[in-house]
Structure 1
């Protein structure tokens, strides 16, 4: 899932990015409304989390444009406390609204609810149990290691989309990993042995994609 985070507080952006990347999202960051719209126009965004007060274009203005041209979900953040703010946000097309300060866990739950992400992701014969951290094929636990589970989770959350090695390294091994990118290939090969050789397709020079063989 592609998530756009827009806020004029760089520290806030980095904290939220780390939180969502850990959950398997691909995250795009913007520090003002114009940058947010540029990212939206040039990427397939599933959900945008927008700060209300931003330079250039406000979160409400960005929300209106996103809703005018796409079906992406929008959640507005604000430190404002006026009673009619929620009305203004929803009238602009926002799907949800959250006041600052907020608990990051609450934001994550709101985002998952908007994207209709349950505790399990089903892709063809595979079931990824996010809470139990297990991968099942035809109802049988494949015995995935921690890294294999994390790889499957990221690929499942981006079902049908090509995920690059760089993104997999960042989201599974962490931003501070400095080893070989080929370690991804090794883990993918072992994962295929457990979930089926044809489940994960290789796109040379691009990355990997988990596809539903029944679609």
Structure 2
């Protein structure tokens, strides 16, 4: 398999170099950007498999970069933030980020989270369920291409929204707890609160339109993908 490519967007050169060295030592190709505008230029080539994106950037902040990338790509995004306000984290998720790491952080933790996102993406792409597709109530997931259609119309989902929908549809009629969802999608001890999952679910429901009612909230437990509309 060709080496996966990580785009590191960080204005502090020392931190950027540390991340670069750490990922290169693990066999990854690394692209660099020192500000938001450079990040969008690097993404123009379309060859990044995952983006590590600092929020506080010159020229164009991480929020704006994330928003623009999500208009055309579902590439996994990990946001780096020195802020501890949970509302800032939720804003990142609302804009389409898949994970976040708070500064100061361990490069090992950042690497583990990046690997988790990339591995889950690869696992779903290589899976074979009912001929590589899963269809429920007109919602069709095609795992190799990681695409979703709703009654034939394409639905653009982020990496995490795709993972959540896949998890719920595979367990149709069964309550999936938040803990089960976190373990399957993130795979590490969760540092946030329930609002993070709720934000992803809310975004997913908006994108599903009339089919949003298929995802039922089970109070204080989790979610269920219903058997009937």
Indicate the TM-score class for this superposition, using the shorter chain for normalisation: 0.5 to 0.7
Structure 2 counterpart SS, 1:86: helix
The one of 108, 115, 118 aligned to 1:115: 118
Task: Report how far residue 96 of structure 1 moved.
Answer: 0.3
Structure 1 counterpart SS, 2:86: coil
Task: Report how far residue 60 of structure 1 moved.
Answer: 1.4
Alignment RMSD (CA, Å): 1.9
Task: Report how far residue 21 of structure 1 moved.
Answer: 0.4
2:54 is the counterpart of 1:55: no
TM-score scaled by structure 1?
A: 0.53
TM-score scaled by structure 2?
A: 0.50
The one of 55, 72, 75 aligned to 2:75: 72
Q: Specify the structure having the higher radius of gyration (Cα).
A: 1
Indicate the residue corresponding to 2:185 in structure 1: none
TM-aligned CA distance change 1:24 to 1:54, over 3 Å: same
The one of 98, 106, 111 aligned to 1:103: 106
Q: Which moved more, 1:65-74 or 1:101-110?
A: 65-74
Aligned length: 120
Listed one character per residue, the Cα deviations across residues 156-177 of structure 1 (whole Å, up to 9, x for unaligned) are xxxxxxxxxxxxxxxxxxxxxx
Task: Give the Cα–Cα distance (whole angstroms) in 1 for the partners of residues 8 and 120 of structure 2.
Answer: 18
Task: Give the Cα–Cα distance (whole angstroms) in 2 for the partners of residues 68 and 36 of structure 1.
Answer: 15
Task: Give the Cα–Cα distance (whole angstroms) in 2 for the partners of residues 83 and 46 of structure 1.
Answer: 27
TM-aligned CA distance change 1:117 to 1:18, over 3 Å: farther
Structure 1 counterpart SS, 2:47: coil
Structure 1 runs of 4+ with >2 Å offset: none
Indicate the residue corresponding to 1:90 in structure 2: 93
2:48 is the counterpart of 1:45: yes
Task: Report how far residue 43 of structure 1 moved.
Answer: 3.8
